[in-house]
Amino acid sequence: MPVVGKPLPHESAIGHATGQAPYIEDLPPRADELWVDFVGSPCARGVLERIDADAARALPGVVAVLTAADIPGHNHWGGVVVDEPFLAASELAYVGQPVVAIAAVDRETALRARRAIKLHVREEQPVLTIEEAIAAGEFLGAEQRIARGDFAAAWKSAPHRLETTVTIGGQEQFCLESQSALAIPEEDGTIIVHSSTQNPTEIQAVVAEGLGVGMHRVVCICRRMGGGFGGKETQAAIPAFLVALVASRTGRAARMVYTKDDDMKVTGKRHQYRADIRAAFDEEGTIQGVEIRFHSNGGAFVDLSFAVMERTLFHADNGYFIPNFDVVGRVCRTNLPPNTAFRGFGGPQGVAAIEHTIQEIARVLGRDAADIRRRNCYGIGERDITPYGQRFVHNTLPEIYERLLASSDYAERRRRVAAFNAESRTHLRGLAITPVKFGIAFTATFLNQGNALVNVYTDGTVQVSTGATEMGQGVNTKIRQIVADEFGLPIEAVRMMTTSTEKNINTSPTAASAGTDLNGLAARDACEKILREMRTFAAGIFTGGETGLGTDPALIRFRDGRVFDERRPGNFLLFDQFAKRCRLNRVNIGARGFYATPNLHFDRATGRGNPFNYFTCGAAVAEVLIDRLTGELVVDRVDLLMDIGRMINPGVDRGQVIGGFIQGLGWVTTEELVYSPKGHLLSYSPTTYKIPGVDDVPRDFRVAFLDNARNTHNIYASKAVGEPPLLLGLCAWAAVKDALATVAGAARAVPLNLPATGEEILRCLTALEAHVTALPGVLAPAK
């Protein structure tokens, strides 16, 4: 029976649940192994004048104390721009930036050495915020722009105009496994690096460049990660290089695992944004034009900030056709750790800006924002061209809107919310629906490729290796199902192998929600190459038979562990017997597969092209309750409907949708990054940084899927699911704005920034209700 489409358990589920699945910290230590730590910059901006490490070097058990001068190759790396040092040599750019690497016989000795090293620094005034960077002219790179139509003319002629600004907060990836790496030296100068990374090829490359050796002398291995969320796409590079440097210098294995405090303090996060918006619209709420000026907080170095900003511009339209559209983005340089990839990769910030705009338009017109969203939704066969010139084909958003509004009983609940707000003196309710249209592909076209190695053994079992990295999202489980079905085998006959650059070369990071798309199609390509050989051989075996008929290879079937001519299914060979005969007859039953996504292109000079393979769509309705006295927020109910095509594994995909939504809910309601005036992260532990807990999830959470088999150019008509549901968390933030609009009225803007923490909500309420007469002990009902 086919296994694609079945909700099979995650391939490592038992290991995860029992604690038997090994992560890098769990790998057995070698007798000669060293523990690696680092000393970071004590200030956000300054000049390193001297390093005093004599006391550390004198400690028993300290084997090496290394600085930038000890790096044999290049001391700079970067995924896009090579601008970030592995170890700072003179200029210090953020608090905790690695300056000195320490290798000791154990963790405790390394920590003592870390405390013994003194950095003598001339501290300078840091730039920490977007506003400070703009004022100081501190930017990374040039402006990026996507535009169509004539916004200036639309603005001039519009019946209604709106100017608004929203601040969109960052977010910590908060992986359960911190940044980790283990390096093992081998003969001939080869280094094996076990890294908790989403991007093994990049680790291989930066380690080779830093050590001054060829990539053929570095192998990167990643069995699994304890979470990634984009935080291990580039930021795994520094710990991987430092352990490789120690291993190369000492000839001993070296391991490094950041503490959770260090991980949060020194690694990049989701970018904070400021969006300055102008919108032109008519009495009915039809948007005639939108202009947005985005500024992001890139941190001290480029990392992936340019690509993140580009995806922001691509997604600033979200699900809406806007004829006159002008969006510009600029990355600010600040003295914070370089911000990086995070699930959604800039898309959430773009969507937040336009959803904020929709809510404000609705408030100004005194209309339900759901009506504004439906009125401006992309059309089918018309009004279906994005601002960058790509046609939005197979648009299911109108259907999703109608189904979800009906199934969530939106109209009746809207009436109940209005009645509640008219009566309650202590609480407010809000209700909102928000959509998502998320483009699937890397916007760097060359990354849209994958390769796979499939080996069939003579006992009928199969090994599969791909460049995909497993971080809990289930990519290996899905690929395993694909390969099992290609050969007509039970899932138990297929094993996913550890990801290694020795077996899969020049791979793309597992990111952009494209892991299954690229690697699954590459694995299927390898299977098809093997099956062509097998069918030809099988046709020779089955030719003649009882009927004397010749057999066409196209008639050979692989099903339920059997190989047969479809015209004579009773005359079969068991797959394991057949595989053994293949080898005895010198038939190749191993192959490397490759896939490159076709028809992708984008001209950055003109802002036009076809950057995405397809769009994953959905919508969610949220109803929230706000305590007007404290700002406490409760998400009472969420109804979510997504189009993710034909699911390869409904259990895994449902988990991704729920997990992604909750992570997005955390971003928009509870997760706030707080820095000191000197650039020190203050919210660096679970006690001060609040990811969603049991009490924060919707009290009533309803998840449904649209059955859609039209995405036929992707593997089994499936759609990517990793990132899009996160953006639907914005429905809760929009519902908070909807509730506050009850107090604000048409004449006053709702000054709600993101995240809508209890403190932020209370700040807005205090500002909005200053004109409301308070009764003893309670607030007056909204006017």
The 10s digit of each residue's pLDDT in 54-105 is: 999 999 999 999 999 999 999 999 989 999 999 999 999 999 999 999 999 9
For residue range 216-228, what is the model confidence (pLDDT) as tens digits?
999 999 999 999 9
Q: State how far the Cα of 573 lies from the Cα of 539, in Å rounded to an integer.
A: 12
For residue 166, is it within any domain? no
The question of whether 131 is a catalytic residue gets the answer no
DSSP label of 271 = P
Segment holding 336, helix H or strand E = none
Starting at the earlier edge strand, list the strands of the sheet with 462-466. Answer: 494-496, 462-466, 449-456, 590-596
For residue 17, what pLDDT is reported?
93
The pLDDT mean for the chain works out to 96
CB 452 within 8 A of CB 590: no
CB 324 within 8 A of CB 158: no
CB 354 within 8 A of CB 318: yes
Under the banding of pLDDT at 50, 70 and 90, the label for residue 678 is: very high
Residues 293, 393 share a domain: yes
pLDDT at residue 549 above 50?
Answer: yes
Q: State how far the Cα of 458 lies from the Cα of 203, in Å rounded to an integer.
A: 35
Under the banding of pLDDT at 50, 70 and 90, the label for residue 544 is: low
pLDDT at residue 783 above 80?
Answer: no
Residues 482, 432 share a domain: no
Residue 238 tokens, joined:
């520094």
Beta strand 76-77 with 118-123: parallel, antiparallel or unpaired? unpaired
For residue 586, is it within any domain? yes
Q: Which residue has the tokens 């291990």?
A: 232
Residues 297, 234 share a domain: no
Q: Of 723, 759, 760, 769, which residue is the catalytic one?
A: 723
Chain centroid to CA 193: 24
Residues 663, 550 share a domain: no
Residues 457, 439 share a domain: no
Residues 221, 316 share a domain: no
**Terminal-to-terminal C-alpha distance of the chain:** 63
What sign does the dihedral 536-542-543-547 (CA atoms) show?
negative
% of residues, the chain, pLDDT over 70: 97
For residue 5, is it within any domain? no
Nearest alpha-carbon partner for 282 in 335, 323, 238, 331: 323
Helix (H, G, I), strand (E, B) or coil at 688: coil
For residue 152, is it within any domain? no
Query: Residues 18-23: what's their mean pLDDT?
Result: 96
Q: State how far the Cα of 315 lies from the Cα of 345, in Å rounded to an integer.
A: 10
CB 575 within 8 A of CB 488: yes
Q: Among the three residues 266, 300, 332, which one is the final residue of a domain in this structure?
A: 266
Q: Among the three residues 266, 284, 316, which one is the final residue of a domain in this structure?
A: 266
For residue 150, what pLDDT is reported?
98
DSSP string, 434-489: EEEEEEES-SSGGG-EEEEEEEE-TTS-EEEEES---SSS-HHHHHHHHHHHHHT-
For residue 3, what pLDDT is reported?
96
For residue 131, is it within any domain? no
CATH of the domain at 352: 3.30.365.10
Angle at 44 between CA 40 and CA 49, to 5 degrees: 65
Residues 289, 192 share a domain: no
pLDDT at residue 546 above 70?
Answer: no
Number of domains in the chain: 3
CB 388 within 8 A of CB 317: no
Q: Among the three residues 237, 266, 295, which one is the final residue of a domain in this structure?
A: 266
Range of the domain at 102: 13-125+173-266
Query: Residues 377-392: what's their mean pLDDT?
Result: 98
Residues 544, 404 share a domain: no
Residues 380, 319 share a domain: yes
Residues 462, 430 share a domain: no
pLDDT at residue 581 above 90?
Answer: yes
Q: State how far the Cα of 244 lies from the Cα of 215, in Å rounded to an integer.
A: 13
Residues 654, 621 share a domain: yes
Query: Residues 739-744: what's their mean pLDDT?
Result: 96
For residue 565, is it within any domain? yes
CB 450 within 8 A of CB 519: yes
% of residues, the chain, pLDDT over 90: 96
Residues 215, 86 share a domain: yes
For residue range 504-514, what is the model confidence (pLDDT) as tens digits?
999 999 999 99
pLDDT at residue 725 above 60?
Answer: yes
Longest distance between any two alpha carbons in the chain, whole Å: 98
For residue 675, is it within any domain? yes
Query: Residues 315-326: what's their mean pLDDT?
Result: 98
Lowest mean pLDDT among 432-436, 438-442, 620-624, 747-751: 747-751
For residue range 409-454, what is the model confidence (pLDDT) as tens digits?
999 999 999 999 999 999 999 999 999 999 999 999 999 999 999 9
CATH of the domain at 223: 3.90.1170.50
Helix (H, G, I), strand (E, B) or coil at 146: strand
For residue 546, is it within any domain? yes
Chain centroid to CA 544: 55
For residue 551, what pLDDT is reported?
81
Task: Name the pTM for this structure.
Answer: 0.96
